[in-house]
Amino acid sequence: MMDTARYFEPDEVRTLAGGSDSVGFLLIIHCYATMALVLLIFSIWSNFFTFVLAIMIIGSRQLGLAILMHDAAHGALVATKSFNEKLGSWLCGSPILADLFSYRRYHLMHHKHCQTNEDPDRVLSAPFPITRYSLLRKIFRDVSGQTGIKSVYSQILNAFRLAFDDDATEHSDKQAQTFKSSLLFRPVICNTFIFAVMWYVGAWWWWFTFWLLPLVTWFQVVIRIRNIAEHAGTEFSTDELQNVRTTYANPLMRLLVAPYWVNYHLEHHLIMHLPCWKLSKVHKLMIQKGYAKKMKLAKSYAKVLREVIV
């Protein structure tokens, strides 16, 4: 686990620490409002361009929900713990078929053992560098929905396995039943609600076209790009400035690929309990302290992709 004191004074961490109920909730509202806006644009000007734009922006905001769920996994989405769990689970994770509590156990192991043999995410970075053809083939599978369909199928199977396997959880009996029931019912309830809202404001097919389709296509693309940018082509070591990467993102990339400061991944590993909206401040502080040349930084996502291709 990273030693924060190596880079920051206690007063600096205290100044940065602490989430905000209002900011966290506003980020969730912003995420859904962005999706609603692009659907409004499509409903007014229905054409191929606005259709593709809707798929890409909704897919990127679905990643946004994953990022906000990730904050909740660290207890950083909002300041109030009970709100953090409920918002992170019901409004962020379940709509994209993700379970906050399962993710938290898995993800904290990644932070503890980052880029070592015990890192559960090492399988994502281990194959790199790869050939250009291999990368294009992977992205084609993402865009065409092949990756997404397999992923959704796997998530559903895993939810059923955990829900009906008596040995699949370490909770007490009462906690276990609540946990197991939530794995199935929360995603169903959330997506039924989204389906009903989309039907009411648009048409019955909107959920399939503007929620499920982005989830199995563009969402998979941006998840892959995110995973590549964060750890692919970095050191397999315990050097926290070189085993993770921060990537600079322009406004267009923040809209379509890297929402909610997800590009500041090195800074997240340095102080993992900070909310996403404070990571840029950590980055500026690290630069001011003279660590820029020691940090794994990339000027753009295009540069990252070039770095991991042989």
The end-to-end CA distance of the chain, in Å, is: 32
How many domains would you assign to the chain? 1
Which portions of the chain are predicted below pLDDT 50? 168, 171-172
3-state secondary structure of 130: strand
Kindly state the tokens that stand for 229. 């940018």
The pTM score is 0.93
| 8 Å CB contact between 6 and 269 | no
Per-residue pLDDT of 99-156, as tens digits, reads: 998 899 999 999 999 999 999 999 999 999 999 999 999 999 999 999 999 998 887 7
Domain that holds residue 244: 4-307
pLDDT tens-digit readout, 226-248: 999 999 999 999 999 999 999 99
User: Of all helices (H) and strands (E), which one includes residue 247?
Assistant: strand 246-247
